[in-house]
Structure formats: C-alpha cells, structure tokens
Amino acid sequence: MNIEETEFQLKKMRLPRMREEYARQRKDPKYQNISFDERFAEIVSVEFDTRTSNSVEKLINKATFYDSTASLEDVNYKPERKLDPKLVEELGTNEYINQHLNIIVIGASGCGKTWLSCAFGVNACRSQYKVKYIRLPELFSEFEAKKIQNQYRQYLKQLQKYDLLILDEFLLVSTEENDRNNLLELIESRTNKKSTIFCSQWTPEGWHERLGAGPVADAILDRVVNSSYRIELYGNSLREDYSKVKKE
C-alpha cells in the first residue's frame, strides 16, 4: 500500500487530524529516528485530543448556558463574597455528579449565582457529562406546551437523562399548583439518579411558602435540601464591576 492510498483511507474513515499528523511526520526529518510505536502513539493522541475537544464543544453548545465562557479558573474570591475556595475545588472534581448530589447557590440579584452555576456546568461538560441549563419560568412554560402537544412524558424523560440540570431563577416568585406538581415530578425522577443545581435569591427556608406551604412543598424540600451542597454568595452586585458601560 502506498502513501496516497493510506491518506485516502484515513480520509474515508473520517480521521482528518490523524491524516494531517501522518503527513506532518513524514515531512519532518526528526521522526526518522523515532520508533514506529512512538510515532503511532503520537498520531493517535492527536486524533483523540481533537475528538475530545470537539465532543466537549458540542456538549457545551447543547447545554444552552447563559454564559458558556464561565470557568472555575476565573472564580472571583473577593473576601466580601464569602466563597469557600476549598468547596469550589471539591465540587470542581465533579464527584458530586458521580454521587448524584445537588448544589444550591443562593444570593441576591447580581451576585454571580448564574455565572458560578454555568462555570460548574462547563466544568462538567469538560469531563463529558451531559448538562442542561434552563430558567425555571421557562421550564414551567415548556411543561405546559408539552402537555398541549401530548409530549409531556417524553419531555420529562429527556430531562431525566441529563447528568447535571441547572435550574436558574429558582422560585423567584410563588408557584401555581400545576407548576408545583410538575416540579415535584421532575425532582422525584432525578433524586438519587442525577444531579441538579438550584440558583435562587431565596434560601430553602423561604422556598416552602413559594411552593404553596403544603405536602408538595414538603416533598420537594425533603428531596432537595437533604442531598445538596449549599453555597451562599454575599457582597454587592458584580454587574457594576463587569459592566461594559463604565461610569465616569
């Protein structure tokens, strides 16, 4: 088999980076003194890294993050935020996902809840976990639309498959009975099976009233609070610090 045939076959098998690396090594004199095993390992490594990178990019795009550039390496640890670096580092291992635990991120508007949650989500995508970001009001609207389309159960099963589900604007306002029942079904389907991040301006102690203060509220809180890490963010709004429109 000649070189042209090898390159043609690599192209047909959709191995573009392996084909490029193979061509590069043939033109580089330094590889003449390197063993076949070492050269082949390097070629495979290039293809593997490319595929992993492409896979991560697809996972991030499908997650529909509010901010897909958020990264745990860029977390703001200003003292007034009272954010524990050790806890962030621990959660950055994604072990909580393996253990099917949750995270509750609490703080006032503008304190960085959404950004931090997206950073955890992007970090999970980098480890090949399937992630979905959605605002709770948007989720409630989706549930109602799916019921009209007779696709409610199908949509619920789809949400069950995500390794990490990020629910932003969680219980920002009080809920209707239908919304509470839908939320309970979702949380019940994921409890001890998958992980969820809840972003809220209210602490769990304030959730009970917004969930109707009844048995459904009790059931939701019991499933969430007892299996969640808790992060409370303090300090002034970060929007002024990161605003593109600077005040004089």
What does each C-alpha distance from 44 to 17, 75, 126, 128, 162 come to in angstroms? Answer: 9, 34, 20, 19, 30
What does each C-alpha distance from 246 to 70, 76, 114, 239, 243 come to in angstroms? Answer: 21, 19, 22, 11, 6
pLDDT at position 239 is: 59
| Structural element, H or E, at residue 52 | helix 36-63
Q: What is the DSSP letter of 191?
A: T
Place of tokens 């950073």: 119
**At 113, which amino acid appears?**
K
Distance separating alpha carbons of residues 79 and 177, to the nearest angstrom: 40
pLDDT at position 182 is: 95
Residue 37, classified by CB atoms within 10 Å of its CB into exposed (0-12), middle (13-18) or buried (19+), is exposed
pLDDT at position 241 is: 60
Beta bridge partners of 133: 166
Q: What is the DSSP letter of 75?
A: -
pLDDT at position 66 is: 94
Q: Which of 208, 21, 237 is nearest to 112 (CA)?
A: 237
Give residues with Cβ within 8 angstroms of 39, minimum separation 6. 25, 31
Distance separating alpha carbons of residues 234 and 86, to the nearest angstrom: 17
pLDDT at position 242 is: 52
pLDDT at position 37 is: 80
Beta bridge partners of 106: 200, 232
pLDDT by 10-residue block (mean), the chain, 248 residues: 74 74 79 81 76 83 94 91 93 96 93 94 94 96 96 95 96 90 95 96 90 92 93 76 48
